[in-house]
Each structure stands twice: as structure tokens, then as C-alpha cells.
A and B are shown apart, each in its own frame.
Chain A
Amino acid sequence: MTNFERFLDTFFNGKVMLKYLPDILSGMVVTIELAVLIVLSGLAAGLSLALIRSLAIRPLNWLIIFIVDLFRSLPPLVIIVLMYFGLPYAEVSPSGFVSTWLSLAFVLMAFSEEIFWAGITSVHKGQWEAARSTGLSFGQTLMNVVLPQALRLTIPPLTNRTIAITKGTALGTVVAVTEILGEASSAVSNSYNPSPLMMGAAAYLVLFLPVVVLARRLETKFAWKK
């Protein structure tokens, strides 16, 4: 065997790959489920917090800022571990899947709230005044005039942040979630061969590369044209 053949046999071993392909595929399904849940709930929660913040109710805003800063400071892994191993002491025992989902959703909520908020505040005050002067209510102005302009500005930072946080689904392995990385590493220990890791990497590329490319497209499309 030449060195190259030995390399192929180790990292791209056909037999091992074939054997563990179904596991990796099922890991992909779990990763996709997690990612979709995190993105939907995290962005919805972040937008809701930003909208509540725009009501300018002082104590509520302090609370929002505190929560947001908390989840922006803690490493996501710490939140996942705390939730999975800590909450049972409070008589709640979320599964690894739920712990990972909620933890990352909270992190995305925190970061996206800041981004949405920055977008809302960057809309010129005159927009509010013009809309309110025609009789539109606060809520109507927010929804019809301010938010459409704010969202446009938030799309580039938001897609970047969303992708970064969604990749954190790999942290779920720590709490026994059978997502791509979890499946791949148990396959590695069972087969004594690193090929499944290569498949895992390929699976992440298949999932995230199109999203990254799409994000780049969106960024160009929504770049603010004056």
C-alpha cells in the first residue's frame, strides 16, 4: 500500500462509510430539525423583544437588556450544560435535544434582539413623525413604516449571526444529541476509523454551504441603495 492508499483507507474508507451512512443521514435530519427550530423560535423571540423594547417601558427594557446581555456573554456550551445537567435539580428534565434547542434559541434571541433593535432605532425619527402626523397609531407606524425599513438593514448581520449560532447545534453531542457530529463520533469509536468524521464534515458542508451562499446573495440584494 502506498502512503496515499493508506490515507484513503483511513479517512475515506468505503466500507466504513457505507456502513455508517444511514447514521450520518439520520444525524442530518436531527441537525436540520434543531436548526429550523432554533432559527424560527430564536428570531421570533428576538423580534418580539425588540418590539416590546420599542414601547419604551423602562423596567421592562432593563429586564430585556439584562437578559440579552446575559445570553450574549455566556458561552452557548455553558448554557446547554447548565440546562441539561442543572435544571433536573429544579424538577425539570429537558432532553438533550430540548436543551440544545432552547439554549441556542436563547442565544439567537439575544443577538437578534440587538440587531433588530439597532435596525429599528436607525430609522430616521422623521419617519415616525410623518406617519404619526397622518393619524397612524404607534403600532401601525411600527409595522407599516419603521419595521420594513429596519428589517432591510438587519438582513446582513442577521444572516451571519444566524448561521454562526445554528452551527452550534454540534454542541449537542455533549448532551447526547444524535445530530451529525454525535453520530459521526460514535461511528468513529465503533469502527476505529475516522472516515465517519469526514462524512460528518461533508454533511455540514451540504447543509450550510447553500445557506452561506444564499446569505451572500441576500446581502447584495438588500444592500441599502440610496
Chain B
Amino acid sequence: MTQQPIVDARAIHKHFGALHVLKGVDLKVAERELVFVIGPSGSGKSTLLRCLNRLEEPSSGSIVVDGIDMLDARTDINHARQRIGMVFQSFNLYPHMTALGNVTLALRKVAGKSRVEADRLGQAALERVGLADRAGHTPGQLSGGQQQRVAIARSIALEPRVMLFDEPTSALDPELVGSVLEVMRSLRESGMTMIVVSHEMGFARNAADRVVFMDDGLIVEQGPPAAIFENPTHERTRAFIGQIQRH
């Protein structure tokens, strides 16, 4: 990694009361890199992602995303967050709006686009996730896979520099997982920088540049997918990989 990393998080600690959830995590991500984060439940993966766009306030450490110091009090956090897309396990679409309404809300309110311009960009984003013909549907009228793709469109419409995915396919029926992974793959091919928390090992194997294994609030080990999956150096990594491969 010679160039300036687009995400540079250093020594991130996070406490929830007495619970020490992140114990000094360092994570650098290069532009166009796809970093895959794995680890047992409760190891702090979600908390780490949520610290990166400051949905969670880190207890200490530093986070720079695309040259912006995320923890500086003078940083306009709402402006900074436009550059960091986030996709959630539970989609979190706005149920009272259509798919297009979901995608255009931030375009209008945050990016300051006119309704016509926002609709045009929103329609284009829906097109990219293969749902141009569902623009007028409400979330309740869409399948889980379609909802998650609308959620992805809602993020990419803002042209983020980085996308964070927190178990984007975990809430989906198995037959719907593929369509979401397909969209993620095409995002990756378009050069999007992505940090993905997921258990989709197949996807990791052929799309990830690097796999990061977290346990108990720390990054235990990281490397290319083949190395981590075939040849983990740490006992805990080996145990975890063995476990999920048996499933």
C-alpha cells in the first residue's frame, strides 16, 4: 500500500460503560480495495464499522476518511457522511416512501439537488442495482433482496468514496442472497472502496483483496483471502474458519 489510504483508523477504542468492545484497532484501506471483515459474533465488527462514520463515538483513537478527520469537532459530520455509504443487515428502508423516495431524500436534503435532478440521479442509482422498474414501489411491496438493493442505491446515489456493509445478506432468504452479492460485485468492478462484514466466504474468496479476522475487540490476523482461509497462522482464526466452514 504505497498511496495514501482512503480510510485510516488508528488505535480505536470503544467502551460501552464497563464493556471494552474495541481494544485498539488499526485499519487502513486503500482506494479501490475490498476489505472483508470476519469474526465471531460480539467481536466488535459492527461497532468498528459504526465508528468509521461516527454512528458510534469512539472512546479514543483517530479516524481519517478521504482526508477528513472524522473525530475533529470542527468537521461537518453530515457532510462527511455523504462520502461514506452504509448498508445495514436490516435494510432500514423508510417504509413510508417509495424506492425512489428512499434514494432521493438525502440527494435533496443533504446534497441540495432539485427534485428533478434528484429524481434523475435516483433513477440512475436504481438502474445500477437493477431496479429501475421498481422506483414507485414501497419497501413493503419489495422482496428482501430488492429492499437491500434499494438500500445500496440509496448509498451509491450520493457517490460515496467508501461503502461500509454490515452483514448485508444475513437477513435474506438464501435464494435472494445472490442478487445482492451480484450488485456488490459490480460495485467492486466499478472501483468502489468497500469494507464488508459478512459470512459469505465464497464472495470473500473471489472478490476480496484482503480478509481481516477480528476477535474480542482486536484484529487478530489479516491477509489475502487464500492465506487466511487456507493457512491461518493464529489458533483462534483457524478455529473460527473451521467452524464456519462446517456450517
8 Å CB contacts to B: which residues of A53-91? Answer: none
8 Å CB contacts to A: which residues of B189-218? Answer: none
Q: Which of B50, B82, B90 is the one whose CB lies under 8 Å from A134?
A: B82
- CA A137 – CA B80 in complex, angstroms? 12
- A124 x B92 contact (CB < 8 A): yes
Q: Which of B78, B85, B140 is the one whose CB lies under 8 Å from A225?
A: B140
Name the CB-closest residue of A to B96: A148
8 Å CB contacts to B: which residues of A129-167? Answer: 129-137, 140, 144-145, 148-149, 152
Is A15 at the interface (CB under 8 A from chain B)?
A: no
Is A127 at the interface (CB under 8 A from chain B)?
A: yes
- A149 x B95 contact (CB < 8 A): yes
Q: Which of B86, B105, B109, B111 is the one whose CB lies under 8 Å from A133?
A: B86
The smallest beta-carbon distance between A131 and chain B, in angstroms, is 8
- B105 x A136 contact (CB < 8 A): yes
- CA A225 – CA B95 in complex, angstroms? 10
* Given A126-B88, A127-B92, A130-B92, CB of A135 within 8 Å of CB of B106: yes
Residues on A with C-beta less than 8 A from B96 are 148-149, 152
Binds A, one of B1-9, B14-22, B150-158: B150-158
Residues on A with C-beta less than 8 A from B90 are 124, 126
Q: Which of B55, B94, B95, B158 is the one whose CB lies under 8 Å from A132?
A: B55
8 Å CB contacts to A: which residues of B68-121? Answer: 78-82, 84-86, 88, 90, 92-96, 105-106, 109-111
Query: What 16 additional pairs, Cβ within 8 angstroms, besides A126-B88, A127-B92, A148-B96?
Result: A129-B55, A129-B86, A130-B94, A131-B94, A132-B55, A132-B81, A133-B84, A133-B155, A134-B158, A135-B78, A135-B81, A136-B78, A136-B110, A137-B78, A140-B109, A145-B105
A residues in contact (CB < 8 Å) with B: 124, 126-127, 129-137, 140, 144-145, 148-149, 152, 225-226
B residues in contact (CB < 8 Å) with A: 50, 53, 55, 78-82, 84-86, 88, 90, 92-96, 105-106, 109-111, 140, 151, 154-155, 158
Give 7 nearest A-B pairs by CB, closest first.
A130-B92, A134-B106, A126-B92, A135-B110, A133-B86, A135-B82, A135-B81
25 sample A-B contacts, Cβ–Cβ < 8 Å, listed by A number: A124-B92, A127-B94, A129-B55, A130-B93, A130-B94, A130-B151, A130-B154, A131-B105, A133-B53, A133-B55, A133-B85, A134-B81, A134-B105, A134-B106, A135-B79, A135-B82, A135-B106, A135-B111, A136-B109, A140-B110, A144-B109, A145-B94, A145-B105, A149-B96, A225-B140
